[in-house]
């Protein structure tokens, strides 16, 4: 079985031309923090990385000394994903940059195929241009569809927007209740974009519980990570706790033993994407009755 049945978290990054997707990708690749990330981009030449980090470059694939790999999206998604599946070892996660007119909702099924599990849909929006783009002939509705599909919105360039991005925020709020993160120069905590590194292992080890609040790199000006104690809960109670999380929650993760069901329950939240699902494949001893929650500071 591929990668012993492991399914790699797969994040989609959408947004129109000029929204800052490439800048975000460059930041992630340069700040991977030990993660082996496969980054799928439209144009490998756009990946701007310190030459010293490049281990190998064959035109369509860029291998980095930090373990990350950047691949051009080949002729179609099927072949591109098959290239990843042919890797002998599973990467830690996959980040796919969509084209400027890519509609994440239509691409999302690919992120949930053999070897992958859709982690979340992140859409970048240019604070200075978004309102105008939404009115533009031919593509205005496409940009609306992108925002509608977003679990998280990364609002870029609000530092140069004359109104600080307030018109763009109104546009986003007209179609989406997803948390909006201000991102300047692509600087985004990789835990926020791609999820907590090794989340299940770390969350599941009781002796590291004390370390949890620091995961996700709390930045009081931007986002706050905290621990929510769950105690004894039923599956339904756990679901309603997750559903009632504030709209400011950008990520939450937990592996919980419920009082009324046998398998461990995994909580996975990326903005508006909130799932609670059984993980019968995991050892119950790994459960921790607490949930890591990252909240955006608006």
Partner 1 sequence: MSQPGVIHRARRVVTLDHAVPVAEAVAVRDGLILGVGTVDEMRAAWGPLRVDDTFADSVLLPGFVEAHSHSLEGAIWAWEYAGFFPRLGPDGERRPGCQSFDALVDLLRRLDAELDDPTESLIVWGFDPIYFGGERLAARHLDVVSSTRPICVIHASLHLITVNTALMEREGFADGCDVEGVPVGGDGRAIGELQEPPAMSLARREMALLFGQLGDPASLRRFADMARVVGCTTVTELGASRLAGDDDLALWTEAASADGFPARLVPLLNPARGQQGTPDEIARHAVAIRDSSTPKVRFGLVKMVLDGSIQGFTARLNPPGYLPHPDGTERPNGIWLIEPEQFSAWFEAFHRAHVTVHTHVNGDQAVDLLLDTVDAALAKHSWFDHRHTAQHTQLTTAAQYRRMARLGMNANIFSNHIFYWGDQHRAITVGPDRAARMDACATADREGVRYSVHSDASVTPLGSLHTMWCAVNRVTASGDVLGPDERVSVDRALRAVTIDAAHQLRLDHEIGTIQAGKLADFVALADDPYDVDPMVIKDIDVIATMVGGEITAP
Interaction site with partner 1 (CB under 8 A): 1, 5, 16-17, 43-45, 59-60, 72, 74-79, 81-82, 85, 99-101, 103, 106, 108-110, 112-114, 138-139, 141-142, 145
CA dihedral (188, 190, 123, 269) positive or negative: negative
CB atoms within 10 A of CB 56: 10
Closer by beta carbon to partner 1, 71 or else 249? 71
Q: How far is the CB of 227 from partner 1 (least distance, A)?
A: 29
Q: Between residues 99 and 247, which has the closer beta carbon with respect to partner 1?
A: 99
Give backbone dihedrals phi and psi of 54, rounded to 5 degrees, phi first.
-85, 120
C-alpha–C-alpha distance, residues 238 and 252, integer Å: 13
In whole angstroms, how close is the CB of 19 to partner 1 at the nearest point? 11
Kindly tell me the burial class for residue 5, based on how many C-beta atoms sit within 10 Å of its own C-beta (0-12, 13-18, 19 or more): exposed
Q: CA dist 77 to 40, 84, 264, Å?
A: 10, 11, 33
| Least distance (Å) between residue 50 CB and partner 1 | 21
Q: CB of 14: closest distance to partner 1 in angstroms? A: 13
Helix (H/G/I), strand (E/B), else coil: 277 = strand
Helix, strand or coil, per DSSP, at residue 88: coil
Beta carbon nearer to partner 1, 44 or 265: 44
Closest CA to 291 of 181, 189, 213, 207: 213
Residues paired with 183 in a beta bridge: 156
CB of 117 to partner 1, least distance (A): 8
Nearer to partner 1, 179 or 195 (CB): 195
Nearest approach, Cβ of residue 114 and partner 1 (Å): 6
Question: Looking at beta carbons only, is 75 or 135 nearer to partner 1?
Answer: 75
Compute the chain's Rg from CA coordinates: 19
Nearer of residues 91 and 115 to partner 1, judged by Cβ: 115
């Amino acid at each position: 079985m591929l990668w012993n049945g492991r399914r790699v978290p797969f994040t989609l990054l959408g947004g129109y031309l000029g929204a800052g997707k490439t800048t975000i990708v460059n930041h992630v690749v340069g700040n991977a923090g030990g993660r082996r990330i496969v980054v799928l981009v439209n144009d490998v030449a756009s990946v701007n990385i310190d030459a010293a980090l490049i281990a190998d470059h064959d035109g369509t694939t860029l291998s980095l000394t930090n373990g990350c790999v950047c691949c051009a999206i080949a002729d179609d998604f099927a072949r591109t994903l098959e290239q990843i599946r042919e890797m002998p070892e599973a990467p830690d996660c996959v980040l796919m940059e969509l084209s400027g007119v890519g509609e994440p909702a239509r691409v999302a099924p690919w992120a949930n195929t053999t070897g992958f599990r859709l982690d979340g849909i992140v859409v970048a929006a240019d604070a200075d241009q978004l309102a105008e783009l939404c009115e533009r002939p031919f593509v205005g509705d496409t940009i609306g569809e992108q925002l509608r599909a977003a679990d998280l919105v990364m609002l870029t360039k609000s530092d140069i927007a004359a109104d600080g991005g307030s018109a763009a925020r109104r546009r986003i709020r007209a179609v989406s209740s997803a948390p909006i993160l201000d991102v300047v120069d692509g600087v985004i905590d990789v835990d926020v974009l791609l999820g907590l590194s090794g989340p299940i292992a770390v969350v599941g080890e009781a002796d590291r519980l004390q370390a949890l609040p620091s995961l996700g790199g709390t930045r009081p000006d931007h986002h706050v990570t905290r621990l929510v104690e769950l105690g004894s809960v039923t599956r339904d109670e756990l679901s309603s706790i997750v559903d009632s999380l504030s709209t400011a929650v950008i990520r939450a993760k937990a592996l919980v033993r419920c009082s009324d069901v046998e398998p461990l329950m995994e909580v996975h939240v990326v903005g508006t994407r909130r799932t609670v699902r059984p993980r019968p494949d995991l050892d119950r001893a790994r459960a921790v009755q607490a949930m890591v929650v990252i909240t955006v500071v608006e």
